[in-house]
Amino acid sequence: MCGRTACTLNADDISKSSRYRDKSGKEKDPEWKLNKDKYNPSYNKAPQSYCPILINEKHLSDNVKVENNRVIVGMRWGLVPNWFTGENVNKMSFSMNNARSDTMLEKRSYNIPLRKGQRCVVLADGFYEWNTTKDGKQPYYIYFPQDLTKTAETASENVETDKKLLTMAGIFEKTFHDGEDLYSFTIITVDSHPQFSWLHHRMPAMLVNDDEIRDWLDHENIPLAKAVELIAPKDCLAWHSVSKFVNNSRNNGPQHYQCIQHEAVAKKKNEGKAMMKWLSGGATKSKTESSKPATPQVKRKASKPMDNWVKKTNRYSTAGKAKS
């Protein structure tokens, strides 16, 4: 299954990170065509949010001469069938966030858009999965292994655009709702590869190279029967445990980097912060105490009974002198 993703690049960098070669061999950055303004970068994307989706440009035009270019469309996560007539799509069940590969050709909601060639590629930095342990559910962040061989000479100026994005096979639908076209999608899932099955029994259907992406999107030249051969478990992922901070879907802003941070690193940093805070507090206290002025030594006064006795003695002594 796939119920939470991270997609942190801004819209323009997503386009650069999705660069591909067209049929002539020329490099191209897919152009954003729709809903660029509805996409917001996030370390914790949940269903109903807008995500960047690759589709064939022919789906957006009636012109048969349009090239098989890849374009990006911001789409709502959670497929909305084209026959949906409800007033509020947000009240729909979350059951269409993922489409099982073994039943997607049987279910009307998925079969119809697939027959129309509405195949798409879902882009993300990574996704999250939870492993059940004796201590509860442990979250993991899953992603494509990154190319660590790039040097300062070979890497682009913006290192973020060198990030290898996940490319997951999906199905999209267009529904006219609330006075406008609503584009929505679902992620296709398959039985997990044996290398991943310890974490979860399902995984997204990954498209691992540019040829697979091209064939999945080329609905005119690659028939559905051939395209579905790409939908299979693949050993192509890396992962690490993360803190349970990600469990709260409200921690979903571009500032919530700790969602993807390795649990051990996050724990070490938190311990370091706690130690620094403790040391800072101790130093402040010592400084405050040492800056206090010394308490002056005050001469102890005689007790009141002693004062009275001295006064009385002096009075008697003065009276005797006066008589004599």
User: Would you please indicate which residues are annotated as catalytic (active-site) residues?
Assistant: 2, 129
Compute the distance between CA of residue 13 and CA of residue 123 in angstroms, rounded to an integer.
12
- Cα-Cα-Cα-Cα torsion 122, 128, 129, 134, nearest 10 degrees, comes to 180
Residues found in the chain: 324
Q: List the beta bridge partners of residue 183.
A: 174
d(CA 322, CA 304) in angstroms, rounded, equals 28
Other Cβ atoms less than 10 A from the Cβ of 113: the count is: 24
Q: Which residues pair with 166 in a beta bridge?
A: 124
Please name which of 79, 106, 94, 95 lies closest in space to residue 173, comparing C-alpha atoms. 79
How many Cβ atoms from other residues are within 10 Å of residue 268's Cβ?
11
> How do 70-77 and 180-191 pair as beta strands?
parallel
